[in-house]
Structure 1
């Protein structure tokens, strides 16, 4: 079922048509050892967004010749998104905001570039402005559907999200979650503190220094889109919402963050308190993976991965079309079984 914490998304989205957009990018923050588990090694995190996009769209990875499952059997959340969206009819679109490895599938490019290590500089100002401008133009031309559902894939994105929130005056490190059960808060806090040290006085320049191309791409996209938007993601989307409030406050009334139960229940984060603070709506997909046939999926219930590639929003949209939680789990199970037999 869809659980509305703030707002009435479950009523608003019922039976509505939608387009699913996945925005991908990379940041050199993911090369910091221990900051993320969204890749078998820090270097391989550069392939994760492209591989997620390819799997979402085609069912296999092309940029890297591996099955999108860790050696421990834990699959990418792209598995959940692809399986959930396969149960409904929708258009899907991949947008590259700045990925070091570009998806080897048709996609739109915002003219960005990979994000740097925010301790030095995240997104060059002229590049950031280009991403925002091109994303806004794209949003203005996506007017056919009743809802826009936007997901993301960027390893270490919770750290750049935390830095973005801190730059806006919030306690960002306290807000964000992690793809690991052991959220490396101390490491994130050190990275964010160093990134903000001696930063530009100008608030907009400071954002560019500490953010990533995906956050900017989604902010631009939503600023141009004229209708309702479901930000399909976890605590990274709180940074998007906070930037929208700062730069495009009129858009906030049409925005809901749609995520997973694992993000909402994460004891290391505080997404519920924060969305109340900034005034954005929040809903989550209440789907229990302890019912899965596969241990690699059941561990999601123990705090692994939690969200990504629009997994929560994808499940929400499937649920809004009358698909049952058990049907979603079965669809994910079936897709996992096919992958492990390759």
Structure 2
């Protein structure tokens, strides 16, 4: 555990557990707002990113698009870190569709959700929000019968904006505290969208959640509530919003959850995951990856504030580190996969 930094609370034992990695995918029309996310080469392509992340994680290649998801600057998806880490520890992976506009072309579990709309108008119908929650709780309960550690990753472009909206709507001091996949966190744009979204909020919890939350947040909360064992919320500031929702719905369930993110999120001066996690009352840790000596510029960019987290990279790498692998082992595996991708794309 020497390469996992405990920040709030302590990390439960991650070794010798019956472990399942789940990737919850969804989309929100917030990602279509120009400039709000770089999780896709164009705003329109952001709706393909979750499906492509899922395909790359399972298959090592994408079927929905003809290349792996990249930022406009050409930085590769963090799914490359997750795939590398899970190849080292060799645990099963499961894709859960909470509401993705593009469905991955591979076997998935669909919990009957729908894509999120623009939160400035309304994200989800109440019936849809309720269905996502109920079905994800049921799925969490069922997964408990075969596993005692559940790792939940996410892929949803613009998810930090919906996370900030939900946290703010639930009464947390969250404005300007969420992260970004870009070194230039578009705080002014996010703040403007969120302040518009929280106007005229319904008074009931389900009403607030339906207005502001994206499908991934609902599914991650429901899975955690339903699962009987320990849960790793593998993500950054979005997972503090999932934790806030868990606390709102079943406060006792929060004790079994730990957010494990990357050091790049914790060190990000444009956001404040520590403050958010403290406010919500959830344990927080970080995997100390280091790509500064990578032979690939696209990977060294992670050390300059690009991407930082996503597709469960923090939790998956944390699991590998807990099993005795070093940050260098993970980088070597990431470079091996990246080299294959580069040669395949030539």
**How far, CA to CA, are the matches of 1:207 and 1:167 in structure 2?**
8
**Counterpart among 232, 238, 241 of residue 240 in structure 2:** 238
Q: In structure 2, the residue corresponding to 1:115 is in which secondary structure?
A: coil
The alpha carbon displacement at 1:207 in A equals: 1.4
Contact 1:159-1:173 at 8 Å conserved across structures: no
Which residue of the partner structure matches residue 110 of structure 1? 111
Matches within 5 A, 1:101-140: 101-140=102-141
Residues 292-323 of structure 1 deviation map (CA, whole Å, 9 limit, x = unaligned):
11110001001000000000101000011111
Equivalent residues of 1:2, 1:285 under 8 A apart: yes
Structure-1 residue corresponding to 2:75:
74
SS in 1 for 2:143: coil
Residue in 1 that maps onto 2:158? 156
Whole-Å separation in 1 of the counterparts to 2:68 and 2:248: 40
C-alpha deviations, 1:40-69, integer Å up to 9, x for none? 110000000000000000000111112434
Superposition deviation, residue 12 in structure 1: 1.7
Equivalent in the alignment of 2:274: 272
Aligned to 2:10: 8
Q: Which residue of 2 aligns with 1:64?
A: 65
Partner of 1:91: 92
Which range moved further: 121-130 or 66-75? 66-75
CA shift for structure 1 position 15: 3.5
Determine which of 210, 217, 227 is the counterpart of 1:225. Answer: 227
Partner of 1:322: 324
Mapped to 1, the partners of 2:105 and 2:116 lie a distance apart of 20
Partner of 2:193: 191
**Alignment RMSD:** 1.1
* Partners of 2:331 and 2:121 in 1: CA distance: 43
Q: Distance in 2 between matches of 1:248 and 1:67?
A: 37
CA distance in 2, matches of 1:160, 1:73: 25
- Distance in 2 separating the partners of 1:250 and 1:6: 17
Separation (CA, whole Å) in 2 of partners of 1:69 and 1:269? 22
1:70 CA displacement: 4.4
Please give the secondary structure, in 2, of the residue aligned with 1:177: coil
C-alpha change, 1:242 and 1:40, in structure 2 (3 Å) is same
Structure 1, unpaired ranges of 5+: none
Q: Which residue of 1 aligns with 2:46?
A: 45
143-152 or 55-64, larger mean C-alpha shift: 143-152
- SS of the aligned residue for 1:173 comes to coil
Aligned length: 341
Deviation of 1:151 after TM superposition, in Å, equals: 0.1
User: Are the aligned partners of 1:15 and 1:320 in contact in 2 as well (CA < 8 Å)?
Assistant: no
d(CA) in 2 for partners of 1:72, 1:213? 28
Shift of 1:170: 1.0
CA distance in 1, matches of 2:160, 2:73: 23
TM-score normalised by L of structure 1: 0.97
Counterpart secondary structure, 1:341: helix
State whether structure 2 residue 4 is matched by structure 1 residue 22: no
- TM-score, length basis structure 2: 0.96
